[in-house]
Structure 1
Amino acid sequence: MEHLVARLWRLIRGPLQWRLLWLWHAKFMVGVTGVVRAADGRVLLLRHRLWPPSRPWGCPTGYANRSERFEDTVVREVREETGLDVRVGRLLRVRSGYRLRVEVAYEAELTGGTLTIDPVEILEAKWFSPDDLPEGVQESHRLLIQQSTGTAAAS
């Protein structure tokens, strides 16, 4: 039976193969986070309106759009949430998350723009020293900040 399936697979090449693979495999949402730094080393944290009140602070974060490069997601989300422009740096983490979600995180460097928060999603935006983060920071984001400064082992 396996040989028959393999022969059929070779015969159907191209778009039909991709369609069958797409139907067969799980679909994932991709959450993308940017650890945004200013030239002086401070990191940008946002107090998110839609996050739990006990841990509302975190880095700019959002979901990738279909066919969007993850680096472009960081740039778009930072601009949408804060009005700031960034240049994306190194990849910090890729991991599977809750259920059908993949989480991707990058370093990002502030390059310009004017801080203007999106009041629908964001309550407040502030720059913090990596050594003096506020109470209520998402633990996963605290670890990303530490990782990006080299003060913690990679997760």
Structure 2
Amino acid sequence: MKRVVVRLWRLVRGPLQWRILWFAHAKFMVGVTGVVRDDKGQVLLLKHRMWPPERPWGLPTGYAVKGEEFPQTVVREVKEETGLDVEPGRLVHVKSGYRLRVEVAYEALLVGGDLDIDGFEILEAQWFEPDSLPQGTQEAHRLLIEGRTLL
């Protein structure tokens, strides 16, 4: 039986194989977070309108769109939410195990732009020293800023 399956698999190469794999495997949204720092080492935090009122502060974050490379998601989300331009850096976090979501985080460096927040999603944007984060900062984001991750 295994040999028959292998032969059939080899016969359906190309787009049909991809279609079969797509139907057979789980689909996930990918949440991408940017640990954005300026040249002084301060970190950018946003006060998010739609997050719990007791934990509204966090890093710029959003979902990757189809075909988008994750470092470019950081660039896009920061620009959309703040008007700032960033250069993505190294990958600092990957976590799966959620029902329909995978989370990734990248370091990012401020390279330009003018602060102009998206008033729909974001209430406020501020730069903070990593050891002086505001009350109500998401714990997982605090750990990312400290260079640790919540396992």
TM bucket, shorter chain:
over 0.9
1:56–1:154 Cα change, 3 Å: closer
- TM-score for the superposition, normalised by structure 2: 0.96
1:46–1:97 Cα change, 3 Å: farther
1:64 is aligned to 64
1:153–1:15 Cα change, 3 Å: closer
The percent identity for this pair of structures is: 70
Instruction: Verify: 1:55 aligned to 2:39, yes or no.
Output: no
Taking the aligned partners of 2:40 and 2:71, their CA distance within structure 1 comes to: 23
Taking the aligned partners of 1:18 and 1:100, their CA distance within structure 2 comes to: 20
1:72-111 matches, cutoff 5 A: 72-111=72-111
Matched residue type, 2:99 = R
Q: Deviations over 1:34-80 (max 9, x none)?
A: 00001011000000001011111000000000000101100000000
- Preserved CA contact (<8 Å) 2:35 2:43: yes
The runs of at least 4 consecutive aligned structure 1 residues that moved more than 4 Å come to 152-155
* Structure 1 unaligned regions, length at least 5: none
User: May I ask how many residue pairs the two structures share in their alignment?
Assistant: 151
Q: Deviations over 1:10-42 (max 9, x none)?
A: 111111000000010001100000000010110
Taking the aligned partners of 2:117 and 2:54, their CA distance within structure 1 comes to: 21
Instruction: Verify: 1:119 aligned to 2:140, yes or no.
Output: no
2:27 is aligned to 27
* Structure 2 unaligned regions, length at least 5: none
